[in-house]
Structure 1
Amino acid sequence: MTKDTTILLIGHGSRGREGNKETINFAAQWRERHPEWRIEVCFIEHAEVLLDEGLDRAARNAKKVLAIPFILNAAGHVKMELPHALAEARQRHPEVEFLVTRHLGMGREILAVLQGQLDQQIKAMSVPDPMTTGVILLGRGSSDAGANGELAKMARWIFEDNDHELVDLAFTGVTWPRLETVVQRQVKLGMMQIAIVPVYLFTGVLIERIKEQVARLQNQYPQVSFALGTHFGFDKGIFDLLDSKVNGDIEEGGMLECDGCKYREAAEEEHLHDHSHTAIGGGGCAHGHDHQHEHGHSHAHGCSHKHD
């Protein structure tokens, strides 16, 4: 990492001030690990410093900007808004090279963090029988099926690596099932303990809502022991994952999977902001726009594009 490179940490942004403060505090701790690095922070929404300003700040006195989407799952913000902001920043600062890593994602690094969270909850319940202890991964929820599918992969991996009879997935909003429904199912299937693992980096309005939900569920099912985890943005594994991205995990050409995609750009012109994009095989892609459109079509160049 050269002195003329700025690392821009791009958070989602939270309606609750504490969530954004934690992201800023994370960046401060990351700087302490790497005092020779120039690290800036901005947010996609619900914050004072948003994408355009963040990219402009990062470009000052820099020859290169390395943007890191500090987000677990790639949905519309990462696939639409970030590539658009990067394209405009490149026009505003033609002398600066803008590179971008992929978002944090749902890989083995995040699995290790989630497993650590689960292990702590199981210990807090005095290590009960896994066959009567259900696990629920609780995500934010998205209109992007690919983002939800990434979390489903984590649930499967947790199941494969442990002895729990049930490992389920629930969401706090947008999509289904919700936490109450999954808890009801696990209780009906005989679970005596339930470990709930929130898949969140930092605190916020939804973290507080989850605590209230679990308190109500404990009253509803007094015979069941509940253990609730918390957000994990300050876990050492997150710092290590970001270090690996800075040290070489950059997509060829410095592009996100939707950065430079002509179908994304066409969607922007039509003001379609809900963008689903999943890489297929050798560079092909699939798009789904969850908005009304009068026609459907496919393209013979290895990329399918669907308008619902």
Structure 2
Amino acid sequence: MRTEQPSLDDDAILLVGHGSRREKSNEQVRTLAAKLETELSVPVDAAYIELAEPSIEDAIETLAPTCRTLTVIPLSLFAASHVKNDVPIAVQTARAKYDDVTFHFGSHLGIHPSIVDLLDDRIQTVESDLGVDRDNDDVAVVLCARGSSDPDSNGDVHKLSRLLYEGREFTRVEPSFIGVTSPRLEDTLHSVAKDRPDAVVVVPYMLGDGVLTQRIIDTAETFDDEYPYVRAGASGPLGTDERLVNVLADRCQEARSGSVEMSCDTCKYKVELSGYEDDQGGARAMLRSLVHQAEHADRSDVDDDPHVHDAPAKHVAVCTNQTCAASGAATVLEQLRQHARDSDDCDVHFSRSSCLGQCGDGPIVAVYPDSIWYGSVTPDDTERIVSSHLERDRIVSDLVHQSL
């Protein structure tokens, strides 16, 4: 009996959001995906890096059989670890798995004239609410972003602040952050207050109306109470404005035409930056990405911080690239998983990884957060790795290839 083949679309797009335990935030990604589909007349699906479903891998598995070309676009304001590591790893893995599909990987939202225009509209709304006008009153603006451990990402906040200032009659526009790095929002507001402006407009540089956005709004309200001589208010987040759809459409076109630009010259994973020397290098960057969960607090309460995980005690990455695969990496990975399933004391998450740069010494098994790499691992070694290292936290010294 002949099996009818599904009809193929020439193109499809996958919009990748961060993911949240708050369904409202996940719905925003789906809304933008639907708007982008209408704008481009191309099928657009949504996926999430973590905390929500479908995952990037599952979404690609659904889309790949239905199209010839798949463009993956990260729905992220800045290019930090997720954009530089997590999503590219998933795309590269998919390229190897679906060799009959052409994959394009696009840039994040980044700095775009439409976003500057959207932020200015948000500011004007608050000016109207406060009864001030930048042309006649001293209006200061504080742009507040999430904050990142990536200096490249934080630098874009400063650049965006300057672009908001140029050509507009604001007294000043200051960058700030709600966490991770400085200057913090509260400190920036107190500094701005010393100039005694007529009004201060706080702009949350956030996509959605989540916990951090509300924290920014609450901080602005507290500031307004503390400084009665300054009128202060906060705008809403970027939301699902049509101008974001326009930026996403531009990013899709760039990806398809091969004109994507990334800031490699200031990327801490590409070049050695002072204070970030330990982050340089492809293998380290990839493994840091794979063990992202383990770097967050082990708690399920997200009211104080939405970017937390119930992290496993260990994260194991097994290289399954060509030479390691030829040496039996797939069997090693399956044996590790089986021994872990049989254990009552093993709290671990396993991941496949692409090349770790140790060709000829594989299969390589990397255990984090311990930063231990085992080399030339055979299926017979897997029980020892699980029972000794993963259960009892005792390194199997004779298998150690290197530590980072």
TM-score (norm 2): 0.62
Alignment correspondent of 1:13:
19
Q: Distance in 2 between matches of 1:111 and 1:254?
A: 20
Cα distance change on mapping 1:254 and 1:157 into 2, 3 Å? closer
Alignment correspondent of 1:222:
228
Q: Distance in 1 between matches of 2:92 and 2:261?
A: 10
Q: Give 1:182 shift.
A: 0.8
Higher relative contact order (CA 8 A, sep 6+): 1
Q: Give 1:243 shift.
A: 2.1
Q: Distance in 2 between matches of 1:253 and 1:220?
A: 49
1:135-188 deviation digits (Å, cap 9, x = unpaired): 001111111111111111111111112122221011111111111111101111
- Matched to 1:10, the amino acid is V
Which of 54, 61, 71 aligns to 1:66? It is: 71
Which of 263, 282, 286 aligns to 1:265? It is: 282
Q: Distance in 1 between matches of 2:254 and 2:199?
A: 42
Matches within 5 A, 1:1-308: 3-34=9-40, 36-129=41-134, 132-248=138-254, 250=256, 252=258, 264-268=281-285, 271-273=287-289
Q: Distance in 1 between matches of 2:222 and 2:29?
A: 29
Greater shift after overlay, 6-15 or 130-139?
130-139
Q: Distance in 2 between matches of 1:156 and 1:3?
A: 42
Is the 2:134–2:169 contact (alpha carbons within 8 Å) kept by the matching residues of 1?
no
- Tell me, which stretches of 5 or more residues in structure 2 are unaligned? 1-7, 265-269, 271-279, 293-368, 372-404
- Matched to 1:148, the amino acid is N
Greater shift after overlay, 52-61 or 160-169?
52-61
- Tell me, which stretches of 5 or more residues in structure 1 are unaligned? 276-290, 294-308
Q: Distance in 2 between matches of 1:160 and 1:255?
A: 24
Q: Give 1:29 shift.
A: 3.1
- Matched to 1:164, the amino acid is F
Cα distance change on mapping 1:58 and 1:37 into 2, 3 Å? same
Q: Distance in 2 between matches of 1:165 and 1:254?
A: 35
Is the 1:79–1:256 contact (alpha carbons within 8 Å) kept by the matching residues of 2?
no
Alignment correspondent of 1:296:
none
- Matched to 1:265, the amino acid is G
Is the 2:107–2:260 contact (alpha carbons within 8 Å) kept by the matching residues of 1?
no
Superposition RMSD on alpha carbons, in Å? 2.8
Greater shift after overlay, 99-108 or 10-19?
10-19
The total of aligned residue pairs comes to: 273
Q: Give 1:60 shift.
A: 2.5
Cα distance change on mapping 1:249 and 1:33 into 2, 3 Å? same
Q: Distance in 1 between matches of 2:235 and 2:125?
A: 8
SS at the partner of 2:239?
coil
Q: Give 1:61 shift.
A: 1.6
Q: Distance in 2 between matches of 1:29 and 1:245?
A: 15
Q: Distance in 1 between matches of 2:78 and 2:25?
A: 17
Q: Distance in 1 between matches of 2:221 and 2:240?
A: 25
Is the 1:101–1:251 contact (alpha carbons within 8 Å) kept by the matching residues of 2?
no
Q: Distance in 2 between matches of 1:203 and 1:236?
A: 17
Sequence identity of aligned pairs in percent? 28
SS at the partner of 1:63?
strand
